[in-house]
Amino acid sequence: MNRLGAAASPYLLQHKDNPVHWWEWNDEAFAEAKASGRPVLLSVGYAACHWCHVMAHESFEDEATAALMNELFVNIKVDREERPDIDHVYMSALHSLGEQGGWPLTMFLTARGEPFWGGTYFPPTARYGRPSFTQVLQQIAAIHAQDPDRIERNAAAIGAALRQSEASAVGEARYEPDLDAIASQVAQAFDPHHGGLRGAPKFPNPGLVELLWRHGSRSGDPTTLQRATRSLERMARGGIHDHLGGGFARYSVDERWLAPHFEKMLYDDAQLLGLYALEAGRSGDPLARSAAEGIVAWLEREMLLPEGAFAASLDADSEGVEGKYYVWTAQELDQALSAEDARLFATHYDVTPRGNWEEVTIPNRLETPDPDAATETELARIRQTLLTLRAKRVPPARDDKILADWNGLVIAALAHAAGLLARPDWLKLAQRGYRFVSESMQDGDGLAHSYRQGRLIKPGFALDHAGMTEAALALHDATSEQHYLDDAKRWSEQLWRHYRHSEAALLGMTRGDDEGLPVSPRPTHDDAVPNANGVHASNLLRLAAKTGEATDRDRAETFLAAALAAAARAPMAHSSVLNAYDLARNGVELVLAGPERGAFRVAALALPYTTTIIVDCPDASALPSDHPAAAMARQAGRGAAFLCFEGRCLPPVTDPNRLAEALAASR
C-alpha cells in the first residue's frame, strides 16, 4: 500500500519502504479520504532535512506508529523542493496557527485539502512539553470523528487567514523606498562583530547582505559596507564553510557561524558565489576569492551531474550521524598527518584535544592567526591531503534531481563570477548547465520544474522561468550570443502571460490555470531563495535596456511599481525587490559599440553586475533611434563604451582599461 516506489523525488524514495501507506499528492489520495471518511495527514520535507530523517526513523519506520497512521488517516508525503507551492500554502496555514514553522511539516487536512491543525516535528514519546506523535494522531482522529463542527470551524478560520494573507501581500499605493533609510535599518539588525542578523541560529540571508553591499559600495557608507563584508568574512572563516571541500552549509546553530546544520543546498551556494565574487572583485580580498573558488570546486566535484546541470543538495547526515563526514578528532588528524603538519593545521583551524563542538573539531578560522604566503602554501597541501582522506568516508546522500530554478540561480552566478574573477572555465561550466536545462527541461514554450532520470515534473513555477531568464541574460552579457536573449524574451513572455495575476500585475508561484490548493499561492517575500517577483523585476529592467522596445520598458515600469507596492509593508522581507529598485535608480547601461568591442566586454564583465547592464551594439543601427547613445555610437570607431543613465550618455570611453575609472567617476 506504500505508493512511493514509483516517485521521481529522492526524498519520496527515501520513504518507499516505510510501513506507512504513503500516497503522493494526487486526486486519488483525496478521493480515498472522502470515501473512507478519514482525514489526511500531510507530511512535507526534503532529502537533506536532518529532523525529517529523525522523525522518519522514530515514527514512520515504526510498525506500531505506522499501523495507527494507516488506520486513522490517509497519509500523503510531499517533497517541498518538488512542490514548493504545496509547501508554501500549508506552511502559511501553520503560521496562521501561531507556530513558527519548519520541517518536517506535519499538517492535518479535510478530504477537500483544507488544513485544520498542524505542527512540525513530533517526538515518539511526550517530552519537553510536547505530546507524542501517537497522542497527536489519536486526539486529532477522535476530534475529527466526534466533533466535525469543530473541524469545520478550524478549517474555515485557517482558510480565511490564508486568503487574507495572500491578498495582503499585494500593495495598492505607490511606494518609493528610501534605500538609505532601509539600509540603515538592516545594518542595525546585523551583528557588528559576527555579521548576519543578530542571535542564533544564523542564516546567510544573501539578499540582505547584497542590499548592504550595494548601499555601502555605492554611497561609501562605512557602516553598511562593514556589515556586509563582516558577514562574508565571518561566514568564510566559520565552520559553516567547508574549509576542505568548499561550499557552505545551510545555516549555523550558533551566533558565531561555528557549528552548522551540515546540509549543503545548491541555492545557498549559488547566491553566496555571486556575493563572494563581488567582494573579491571590489577589494581583492583573498579570503573572498578563496570562498568563491571553493564553492565552484565543490560544485564541480560533488554536485555536477552527467547531464551537465547541478544536483539539489547534500544531506546533513552520513551513517545516521549529523556532520560525521565533515568533522575530525585530534587523534584522527595526528594519524593522518605528520607531527609538523598536524601542529600547523591545528594552529590555523582550531583543533584541540577535546574538540570545539561535541567532542569533535569543526575546522574553522574564526579566531586563529592568518597564515603568511609560505604557510598558506603548506596549508593548501595539508587540506588536499585531508580532503582525499575524507573522500574515503561514507558520503552524505545526494539529492540528484535537477531543479530549473536553483540551476538558473547557480548558472547566473557562475557567469557573473567568471567575468568578475577572470575565470573563463566557470563560464563554460555555466553554459553546459544552461544547455541541459534549456533543451531537456522544455515544456512547450516554457520550462518544467524538476528532472530526474528522464522524468520531468511540470509545469514549472514562476521562479523556474525567472531564474533561468536571469541565467540567460547573464550569459548574453558574457557572450553576446543572440539565442540567450531570445530565450530570456520567451520565458519572460511565459511569465507575463501565464503566471501574472492581472489584478495585481504580480507573479503567482503557479500558472493561473493550476488548481487543487485551498488558495492560489502568491507570495512576494523572499525565502531561502529570492522571490520570483524580485528576480524578474531585475530581469525586466535588463531586458528593456537590451531590447530598447517600448513594450519591454512599459512592462518593466509596471511590474517594478507593483512589486514595490507589495514590499511596502515589510521591506526587509523583500530584499530582491529592493535590489531591483536599486538597479532601476542607480543602474548604468554600458553600451559596447564597434567591431572590436571585445576588450570592452571583458572590462565590463569585471565590474559589479549589481548595477551595470551591458548593451551590445555591433553597429549604430542596433540601438533604437531614441536611445541617448544612438547618434554617438556612429563615432565609436573600432571600439568604445558609453556610460548611459537618466536619459543621457557620457562621452565615449575609448580605452577599456579606463572603463572602471569612468564608472567610478560617474557616481
User: Any idea which of 73-87, 176-190, 323-337, 625-639 has the lowest mean pLDDT?
Assistant: 625-639
Phi-psi region of 589 (alpha: psi -120 to 50; beta: other; left: phi over 0): beta
> What was the pLDDT predicted at 170?
66
From first CA to last CA, the distance across the chain in angstroms is 66
Q: Which of 502, 523, 499, 506 is nearest to 446 (CA)?
A: 499
Q: Can you read off the three cell numbers belonging to residue 286?
A: 583573498
What are phi and psi for residue 450, nearest 5 degrees?
Answer: -140, 145
- Residue 153, amino acid: R
When comparing pLDDT for 618 and 32, which is higher? 32
Q: Which of 206, 301, 186 is nearest to 251 (CA)?
A: 206
Q: Is residue 248 scored above 70 in pLDDT?
A: yes
Q: Residue 417 and residue 423: Cα distance in Å, rounded?
A: 8
Q: Can you read off the three cell numbers belonging to residue 348?
A: 590555523
Answer whether 1's CB lies under 8 Å from 53's CB: no
Answer whether 629's CB lies under 8 Å from 646's CB: no
> What was the pLDDT predicted at 515?
64
Report the SS3 class of residue 250: coil
Q: Is residue 67 scored above 80 in pLDDT?
A: yes
Q: Residue 311 and residue 463: Cα distance in Å, rounded?
A: 17
DSSP 277-317: HHHHHHH--HHHHHHHHHHHHHIIIIIB-TTSSB--EE-SE
Cβ-based burial of 353 (10 A; exposed 0-12, middle 13-18, buried ≥19): exposed
Alpha carbon distances (Å) from 276 to 82, 233, 518: 28, 9, 40
Residues paired with 265 in a beta bridge: 313
* Average pLDDT over all residues of the chain: 94
Answer whether 382's CB lies under 8 Å from 328's CB: no
Average pLDDT over residues 333-354: 97
CB atoms closer than 10 angstroms to residue 628? 17
Q: Can you read off the three cell numbers belonging to residue 282?
A: 571590489
Q: What is the pLDDT of residues 167-199, one digit of tens each?
A: 766 666 678 999 999 999 999 999 999 999 999
Average pLDDT over residues 206-219: 97
Q: Is residue 514 scored above 60 in pLDDT?
A: no
Q: What is the pLDDT of residues 643-660, one digit of tens each?
A: 999 889 999 999 999 999
Q: What is the pLDDT of residues 429-440, one digit of tens each?
A: 999 999 999 999
> What was the pLDDT predicted at 335?
96
DSSP 58: I
DSSP 89-108: HHHHHHHHTT----SSEEEE
> What was the pLDDT predicted at 405?
98
Average pLDDT over residues 362-373: 96
> What was the pLDDT predicted at 637?
79
**In sequence order, what are the residues at sequence separation of 6 or more whose Cβ sits closer than 8 angstroms to the Cβ of residue 98?**
none
DSSP 600-657: HHHHHHTS-TTSEEEEEESSGGGS-TTSTTTTGGGG-TT-EEEEEETTEEPPPB--GG
Q: Residue 529 and residue 507: Cα distance in Å, rounded?
A: 15
Q: Is residue 501 scored above 90 in pLDDT?
A: no
> Which long-range contacts (C-beta less than 8 Å, at least 24 apart) are formed by 636-640?
636/593, 636/594, 636/597, 637/594, 638/594, 638/595, 638/596, 639/592, 639/593, 639/594, 639/595, 639/596, 639/597, 639/598, 639/599, 639/600, 640/593, 640/594, 640/597, 640/600
> What was the pLDDT predicted at 22?
98
Average pLDDT over residues 498-506: 82
% of residues, the chain, pLDDT over 70: 98
Answer whether 140's CB lies under 8 Å from 39's CB: yes
> What was the pLDDT predicted at 578?
97
Q: Which residue in the block uniquely carries the three cell numbers 529598485?
A: 581
Q: Can you read off the three cell numbers belonging to residue 637?
A: 570607431
Cβ-based burial of 110 (10 A; exposed 0-12, middle 13-18, buried ≥19): buried
- Residue 661, amino acid: E
Q: Is residue 217 scored above 90 in pLDDT?
A: yes
**In sequence order, what are the residues at sequence separation of 6 or more whose Cβ sits closer than 8 angstroms to the Cβ of residue 567?**
171, 175, 177, 524, 573, 574, 577, 578
3-state DSSP percent of the chain in helix, strand and coil, to 5: 50, 15, 35
Report the SS3 class of residue 136: helix
> What was the pLDDT predicted at 3?
97
Q: What domains are defined for the chain?
A: 4-168 (3.40.30.10), 179-317+399-585 (1.50.10.10), 326-392 (no CATH), 587-666 (3.40.30)
Q: What is the pLDDT of residues 457-474, one digit of tens each?
A: 999 999 999 999 999 999
Q: What is the pLDDT of residues 539-585, one digit of tens each?
A: 999 999 999 888 998 999 999 999 999 899 899 999 999 999 999 99
Phi-psi region of 461 (alpha: psi -120 to 50; beta: other; left: phi over 0): beta
Binned at pLDDT 50, 70 and 90, residue 332 comes out as very high
